[in-house]
Amino acid sequence: MTEQRVNIEMYVRDHCPYCDNAKILLSSKGVTWTEIHLGKEPHRKEEMILRSGGRRTVPEIFVDGVCLGGFDDIAALEHQGKLDPILKLQHKEKTMTDIHNVVILGSGPAGYTAAVYAARANMKPLLIAGNEPGGQLTTTTEVENFPGFPEGVQGPELMELFRKQAERFGTAFLQGSVDKVDLSKRPFTLHLESGQAISTRALIVATGASAKWLGLESEQRLRNRGVSACATCDGFFFRGKPIAVVGGGDTAMEEAVYLTHFASQVTLIHRRDDFRASKIMADRVKTHPKIKILWDSAVSEVLGDDKAGVTGIQVKNLKTNQVSNLAVDGLFVAIGHQPNTSIFNGQLQVDETGYIVTKPHSTYTSVEGVFAAGDVADKTYRQAISAAGTGCMAAIDAERWLATQG
């Protein structure tokens, strides 16, 4: 192993999925780093905010004292091929590897379950983790509805267990993201952002779905400066401060309740007069003394600047068109997800909302040898347990299909 030529520092917290993702990405580069744990050293929070030019999110990653930002930022650098030069890594030859039996794209419950089944069937699967290792469950807190955990389990912990089980049976893992695929001929070819090409006989697509944003310019400008989609990562920065959550589904309910541990008040903003969330979770929100609900309302602007971060939001009542300002220090967006299918455009059949179409009672897609599992092909149930179930089906479908190919 060659000597590391840069000094890397990372500000982190426990139960921070983006911190875990950053560590996985940096580990895959073979580098090491020093961790500053804000849970153990809370007084260093101000130091981090100052050094990062006002950012209020973990992780914050510094290379030789220069702030690179958080996980999304280093993933973007990796995407642009700029991370290796920053880490002063040697250029590696990019070659086509051997032909794999089955490659699994995605590392949520569907991908890991497919890996467990494929590995136990001696298919020697390769799992490509993608830019959101662990998937959506890594951004949730308590998961109460995954069978086998009567007391509930933390989302990131559950995904860690999934991963270990897949590892135990010999799944090979690759940290990286595929940005182009060729499904027109077999074996299929997958092109990674790093430039590497991978060839596989069967493909299981378990790329899941990603968090949606409101689409405001001010929301993007103030992301990580008070605008967040991860309460477990960033709630801590708003201790004793008022914050707002947008959304009316289970995620918004869960985030709002979790954030009451830190915030002085949580205002939940929903565009209709009825929640989509399950009754049990909606009731927790409705009866919580620290949560105020603004019905029929939308966030029309996020107020603040780079230095101060978020200072407030502009809220529009959709029934009266009345606009008012609300002073908050943080805005948590929890408005659902969209399927990650853009790399398959024109190659796999998707429905009008972008979800992959599978043949009834199976995981077969429109291309023979390609199987889809989890949220990427499911807009109805979207549960961790149903994703895991279809991951199992995809591995069995792939195994049986490969057996017919001789």
Nearer to ligand NDP, 74 or 229 (CB): 229
SS3 of residue 313 by DSSP: strand
Nearer to ligand NDP, 65 or 215 (CB): 215
Does the footprint of ligand NDP cover residue 394 (CB under 6 A)?
no
CB atoms within 10 A of CB 217: 9
CB atoms within 10 A of CB 358: 24
Q: Which residue spans within 215-350 are E strands per DSSP?
A: 227-228, 242-246, 265-269, 291-294, 297-305, 309-317, 323-326, 330-333, 337-339
Q: Select from 29-37, 85-93, 248-256, 323-331 the region that touches ligand NDP (CB under 6 A).
A: 248-256
Residues in the chain, overall count: 406
Of residues 16, 233, 250, 392, which has the active-site annotation?
233
Of residues 73, 230, 250, 378, which has the active-site annotation?
230
CA 116, 121, 122, 125 dihedral sign is: negative
Distances (CA, A) of 297 to 22, 190, 225, 279: 35, 43, 23, 21
Does the footprint of ligand NDP cover residue 140 (CB under 6 A)?
yes
48: tokens are 């981090």
Does the footprint of ligand NDP cover residue 271 (CB under 6 A)?
yes
- Alpha carbons 221 and 339: distance in angstroms, whole number: 24
What does the CA dihedral 374, 376, 382, 387 come to, rounded to 10 degrees? 0
Does the footprint of ligand NDP cover residue 144 (CB under 6 A)?
yes
Q: Select from 169-177, 184-192, 249-257, 317-325 the region that touches ligand NDP (CB under 6 A).
A: 249-257
Taking CB under 6 A as the criterion, the residue among 24, 214, 385, 396 binding ligand NDP is: 214
- The interface mask with ligand NDP, positions 309-338, x = CB under 6 A, is --------------------------xxx-
234 tagged catalytic: yes
Does the footprint of ligand NDP cover residue 284 (CB under 6 A)?
no
Of residues 20, 73, 234, 378, which has the active-site annotation?
234
- The interface mask with ligand NDP, positions 360-389, x = CB under 6 A, is ----------------------x-------
* Size, binding site for ligand NDP by CB under 6 A: 22
Residue for token digits 């959506």? Answer: 136
Q: Which residues bind ligand NDP (CB under 6 A)?
A: 140, 143-145, 212, 214, 246-252, 254, 271-272, 276, 298, 335-337, 382
Residues forming the active site? 230, 233-234
